Structure 1
Amino acid sequence: MSKAVALAASLLLTVSLCFAAPEDAQAPVDKRALDSVNLLLLGDQVKNTVGEKTNQMLGKAMTLLGVPYKRGGSSSDTGFDCSGFVRHIYETSVGRLLPRRADEQAKTTEKIDRSELNPGDLVFFNTMRRTFSHVGIYIGDGKFIHAPSAGKAVRVDDLRAAYWTKRFTGARRVQEPLASDASAP
């Protein structure tokens, strides 16, 4: 396992135990520990099934677990909002500059069916009475990483949770760069 993946896995385990969702606060420690182990196993599955760039991107995203939400934020130093987080991850890990807002990110990416989701794809939600008002990055096994809302921090959530299922508005794939983009320094 590469140092980056090992670091991300270690951070994921530590942070997931510290930042359990409020509804999990009463869950036995064993369940929270099991959830953390499941996320670590998911990381291994992703590593074995996606390309190196996607693996690096998701590893980078995992290192930002626990960074606080900040409206308009786009930095790990000061915090992220949802679209700032997605933009930061794509720009710093694979060199793709996405638009700043979630609705613009949806417009400039390829629409895919939920059943076609692969790690690294974007997932969108209606959380503010707008179709594409929230965005996260799919990491596999029904889970996604995102900067949720004020008072919270970057975390992993499950698409199958009732809250997210009710608000899910679509999945998108960031297109591969053109051959001329790939050869750029």
Structure 2
Amino acid sequence: MTRRAPLAAFSLLAVALLLGGCATTPPLNMRAAPSSTPHGHGDRQRLVRLLHEAVGTPYRYGGDTPRSGFDCSGLVYWASREAGYAGVPRTVREQYRQLRHVPLNQLRPGDVLFFRFRRGPPTHDGIYIGHGRFIHSPATGDHVSIERLNSRFWSRHLIAAARLPR
């Protein structure tokens, strides 16, 4: 075994543990207030603008407001509701199961991206903002951030995309 193998194994385990918090049902808390945009009339530009405004907000397990902080699916839930998309579930698992999947080569800004770090359903998500980038709330101790989809790490774990309901 090389000296790098234990470090690589530890790094992979740390990432899996940190991101695993997005996979389960969060504790009950207050939900975001309905947006002024009529439900069922989502606005992709508003969604992307809201996500940019959320960059820097701390990660918080179970969080789904800018005031409380966000976990990954809480960010997707909050931003989509605020932008006028109705019927977006709260957890990664339900978002993956209920949203309409689209081919990865047909991404549009506002599409939800799903990532898997081990066997089973996806455990992390974020929203595509165009130009090969997405915004997500990564893990405990981190903040909402912008990432490149073509990075070695994220491209390896991306498994699906879904379009928000109209």
TM-score normalised to the size of structure 2? 0.71
8 A Cα contact 2:126 2:137, kept in partner:
yes
For the structure 1 residues 146 and 99, does the alpha-carbon distance in structure 2 shift closer, same or farther, using more than 3 Å as the test? same
* Amino acid in the other structure paired with 2:148: D
Which residue in the other structure is 2:109 paired with? 119
3-state DSSP class of the match of 1:61? helix
1:167 aligns with 2:157: yes
RMSD after superposition: 1.7
Which residue in the other structure is 2:130 paired with? 140
Alpha-carbon displacement from aligned partner over 1:95-117 (angstroms, at most 9, x marks no partner): 42411111110111111111000
- Count of residue pairs brought into register by the alignment: 126
8 A Cα contact 2:61 2:140, kept in partner:
yes
Structure ranking higher in helix proportion = 1
Percent identity of equivalent pairs:
32
For the structure 1 residues 172 and 104, does the alpha-carbon distance in structure 2 shift closer, same or farther, using more than 3 Å as the test? same
TM-score normalised to the size of structure 1? 0.64
8 A Cα contact 1:90 1:97, kept in partner:
no
RCO higher in structure (CA 8 A, sep ≥6):
2
* Amino acid in the other structure paired with 1:155: S
Q: How do 1:41-80 residues align onto structure 2 when only pairs under 5 Å count?
A: 53-80=43-70
8 A Cα contact 1:67 1:76, kept in partner:
yes
